[in-house]
Structure 1
Amino acid sequence: MAENRRLWWTVAAAAGLLAGGALPPLGSPPLLWLALVPLWALSPAQGALWGAMAVLISHRWLLWLHPLDWVGVPLPLSLPLCLLLWLSIALLGAVLVGGWRWLVGRLGADRFAAALLASALWGLAEVLLAKGPLFWIGLGAAALPGDPALAGLAQLLGAGGLAMLQLLLGWGLWQGVLRRRWRGRWLLGWLLSVLALHGAGLQQLRSESRSALEGPRETVLVLQPAIPTREKFSWLQQRSLQRQLSAALTEAQQRGADLLVLPEGALALGQELPSPPALEVLSGGFRQQDLELRSSLLQFPAGATEAQAALDKHRLVPLGEWIPGSGLLGWAGLSAVGGVSPGEAPRLLPRADGALAVAICYELADGSSLSRASRDGAGWILASANLDPYPEQLQQQFRALAQLRAIEASRWLVSAANTGPSLVVSPDGQVLAQLPSGQAGTLLSTVSRRFGQTPYVRWGEWPLLLLVLGASASLAWSRVRQS
């Protein structure tokens, strides 16, 4: 008996590690389905271990914050603090997955209605968590970059719906192992379901591409400065940025660009452009709103060296830009510009040449907000980020999320990042161009403003909510009949 318990704990840890590895940058749904099979049979405590292991693997890039001496943290405390942050996120994942597994135990996982209810609730939870400060990537992003056909279903159900489908496919495999009498027929039905889902995803991408309404084209030049965040505010690096910005303004004018884009935090507080631009400039930077410091996307119309409008960052990085009770503690956070205040929630930036949906940094994880901006008139999506000093693992996760956001809304997406990834994604999720990571450079692309609405843009999370209500009603009616 004790050996069986140890075996299940080992299986829980191994499956969690496999789940974390199956997420982007690998993006392998088949590996994730295998990792989800034992999750349906684990105890709540073992499910918590599964969740902790998955987060430890998928969020290991947090350790690259070390060393933190550049923001005033003593070197002996730097690594312990980074480890504490990494383990704290894993603990949160353990609590959430353990709680979900407890709910599955209460519902009973043998019936499809119970599995559907539990899976849809997980998907909705990912959508809600993406609006708070403590979520980056979940099962909804697992289809990319390895399985774009399955990711096409995001146009119907969003990332929450993709998370639900991953769980249901894992449940189907688990049931196939249990149903000894009908195992062959069950697994054949499961395989046909997988093929049908992929076919539906491809069909959705193709039909949306054919029916999309496209407006005028816009030529965008992206500047990737590749300035290390730890040296960002030094005189030498500021001079380098000024030279790169002046050269980019000249290049944009010579190559006929309509818009120049700089990444998150490129300009310091109150910093102006070196010369009046001949075209519109959108740059990450900082501004003062009353007594509050905001991290923003600053808008410089043609001919203006000072920003005339801005969209403030709403979803702040915990510990980096904001900590709970920071006013009482007298600590602004880990970043060199800590103490930032959040802006308004809508991600729509009005412009004379057409509104944009804007994601600053890890706001890219919140697909519902960007889809709402698309519904409100955004013609394409702009992602502005500074992912230094994190490794390429995080950049590749960012790239996968950019692909998913483009698919959900069927919009062109342009990313401008300090050290990468600066890229262009087509409405069907293909990365058409990308600058090398960590190297300074410019990227010229042409995007079309699109006005159509995918089912997800139009309906949001309503399909998931209806599935929750339907599955709940089915379970309730079944219990009434049994009683």
Structure 2
Amino acid sequence: MLALVSGMCMALGTAPTSAWFLAWIAIAPLWVLIVTTPKQIKTVAFYSLAWGIGYHGFALFWITGVHPMTWLGVPWLASLGIATFCLVFITLWGAAIVTMWGIGMVTLTPLTNPPLRILIGTALWCGLEGLWSQGPLFWSSISYTQSPNNLFILHLGQLSGPSTITAAILIVNGCLAQAYLTWRRDRRLTARYLSFAGSLLLGFHLIGWGLYNRPLAQLPNTALRVGIIQGNIPNEIKLSPTGWQKAIEGYTTGYQALADSGAQAVLTPEGALPFSWEEVKNTSFYAAVLEKKVVAWLGAFADRGSNSYSNALLTVTGSGEILSRYDKVKLVPLGEYIPFKEVLGGLINRLSPLQATQIPGAENQVFDTPFGKAIAAICYESAFSQIFRYQAAIGGEFILSASNDAHYSPTMPAQHHALDIMRAIETQRWTLRAVNTGYSGVIDPHGKTVWLSQLKTYQTHIATIFRLTTQTLYVRWGDWLTPSLLIAAGVGYFSLRFRAF
């Protein structure tokens, strides 16, 4: 129960609750349980699993918002079963990180050397999160418990990405756990660990504060006026003739109004016009682009041949041509592709919005625009910092994030916005978010939300952003911290074993 509740306390740090301060103490109880249960791997695994279920299950409970899917033709009971399966699977997938960490702690960390135990524990968690982030299913790193409110700590992401924040949280929790473990036998040592934890916490915030207060280069010749349209097309009608007509009318009207207001470009959400490009050319939206001559970043489907397509963001120029295309790389399991298709394909194939196979894009895409290179991301990709880092490293000057969060509870749009805040800070780029039903927004490179839409409303907004070419340490070097921690932990572990031998 202690492990479960402390995991749930960690989940309270995530948006929209955003009790970020709980993250700095929520792992300590699990750490104590592991250290006080030496050589009992099954028990430690159970404690760790309970903590992981508390954190990931509570933080990701919004996924049940996919139910009911009767609008897709899925029966009510089958829809409930799919939503339940999604919650259980994604919870256990995330909880596996914590379970493996607990097993690693009890098998690798020496009881006689607490500082080395803290180092190994920190390195191991960072390594596991880094490994999981390379896979197809990732969302709730403990680093995002600090977004959107703890902007000072989020600036540590400029050093080595989200792993920097994860490491800071782990090492403070490890010191607090060690302080508790020494309480009865050595109060002076307890005071030292408490002082060390407090000094680290203050020091991390001071480093972040220093990065937060660095001025930004906002030169007039780098300014760009961009319009955002939040179409607010409910998923229940999105794929019906009524929804198509509403989308065409809403995005056409919004585009014309923003163009008349001086926008140099207009950003639409993911799948704003859920048609192929040839079908888009027959709409009033396309006619408006030809008339107004303003660049449109349009969410639509791109033909990939052989009865397949990609979820794409298209740069449509004033002449009506496609200058560039970004194909979504990280597809949503079940919603956009079917894992273990041979087994599950016939059961859940109806979840696909088109009678075709969705193909992921390449990871090395370049998104050119008339205003320079941009960093493009579609929906789920906001959880994968490496996608943003790569595009920033090759010259991306601002971030375009297009999404459709209509099929989840309001918790998910808040967490999605929080993730984009982290990506804006890590790359030090202005970020524009267009989301079908909200939250759309504008985020500056220090993570401040300049504008935020309301949920489930039709809205347009025009903002001035600045194109930046500076590169943070994370953009230049990537996640250098995790391998450094793993190497240091490995050297410390084998040195101790060698001396014992």
TM-score bin (small chain): over 0.9
SS in 2 for 1:345: coil
SS in 2 for 1:372: helix
Rounded to whole Å, the distance in 2 between the matches of 1:76 and 1:213 is 57
In the other structure, the counterpart of 1:283 is 298
Deviation at 1:369, TM superposition (A): 1.7
In the other structure, the counterpart of 2:341 is 326
Letter in 2 for 1:17: M
Structure 2: tracts of 5 or more residues without a match: 35-43
In the other structure, the counterpart of 1:54 is 55
Counterpart among 123, 127, 130 of residue 127 in structure 1:
130
**Match runs of 1:164-243 below 5 Å:** 164-180=167-183, 181=186, 182-207=189-214, 209-210=215-216, 216-243=222-249
Deviation at 1:67, TM superposition (A): 0.6
- The range that moved more, 345-354 or 328-337, is 328-337
Runs of 4+ in 1 over 4 A off after TM superposition: 210-215
Alpha-carbon spacing, 1:211–1:287, altered in 2? closer, same or farther (3 Å): closer
Letter in 2 for 1:365: A
In the other structure, the counterpart of 1:141 is 144
In the other structure, the counterpart of 2:4 is 13
Letter in 2 for 1:76: L
**Match runs of 1:9-408 below 5 Å:** 10-40=1-31, 41-42=33-34, 43-108=44-109, 110=111, 111-180=114-183, 181=186, 182-207=189-214, 209-210=215-216, 216-267=222-273, 268-270=275-277, 271-272=280-281, 273-275=285-287, 276=290, 277-291=292-306, 292-304=308-320, 307-326=322-341, 329-330=345-346, 332=349, 334-337=351-354, 339-346=357-364, 348-408=366-426
Rounded to whole Å, the distance in 1 between the matches of 2:500 and 2:219 is 52
Counterpart among 449, 460, 467 of residue 442 in structure 1:
460
Rounded to whole Å, the distance in 2 between the matches of 1:49 and 1:75 is 30
SS in 1 for 2:88: helix
Q: Is 1:461 paired with 2:479? A: yes
Letter in 2 for 1:341: I
SS in 1 for 2:372: coil
- The range that moved more, 472-481 or 435-444, is 472-481
Deviation at 1:109, TM superposition (A): 6.1
In the other structure, the counterpart of 1:6 is none
Query: Does structure 2 retain, via aligned residues, the 8 Å contact 1:320–1:333?
Result: no
SS in 1 for 2:303: strand
Q: Deviations over 1:246-283 (max 9, x none)?
A: 22222122111111111001111232234114111011
Q: Aligned pair count? A: 472
Deviation at 1:412, TM superposition (A): 0.5
Identity of aligned residues (%): 28
- The range that moved more, 33-42 or 398-407, is 33-42
Query: Does structure 1 retain, via aligned residues, the 8 Å contact 2:219–2:466?
Result: no
- The range that moved more, 192-201 or 32-41, is 32-41
- The range that moved more, 423-432 or 263-272, is 263-272
SS in 1 for 2:138: coil
Rounded to whole Å, the distance in 2 between the matches of 1:250 and 1:213 is 28
Letter in 2 for 1:220: V
Q: Deviations over 1:36-60 (max 9, x none)?
A: 0112133121101110121110011
Letter in 2 for 1:63: T
> Root-mean-square deviation (CA), in Å?
1.9
Letter in 2 for 1:336: P
In the other structure, the counterpart of 2:39 is none
Alpha-carbon spacing, 1:39–1:213, altered in 2? closer, same or farther (3 Å): farther
Rounded to whole Å, the distance in 2 between the matches of 1:120 and 1:62 is 30
Alpha-carbon spacing, 1:246–1:92, altered in 2? closer, same or farther (3 Å): closer
Alpha-carbon spacing, 1:373–1:65, altered in 2? closer, same or farther (3 Å): same
Rounded to whole Å, the distance in 2 between the matches of 1:333 and 1:114 is 49
SS in 2 for 1:35: coil
Rounded to whole Å, the distance in 2 between the matches of 1:396 and 1:293 is 29
Rounded to whole Å, the distance in 1 between the matches of 2:218 and 2:101 is 39
Deviation at 1:213, TM superposition (A): 8.3
SS in 2 for 1:439: coil
TM-score (norm 2): 0.90
SS in 2 for 1:317: coil
SS in 2 for 1:219: strand
Deviation at 1:127, TM superposition (A): 3.3
SS in 2 for 1:384: strand
Letter in 2 for 1:204: L
SS in 2 for 1:22: coil
Q: Deviations over 1:93-114 (max 9, x none)?
A: 3333111100011122653233
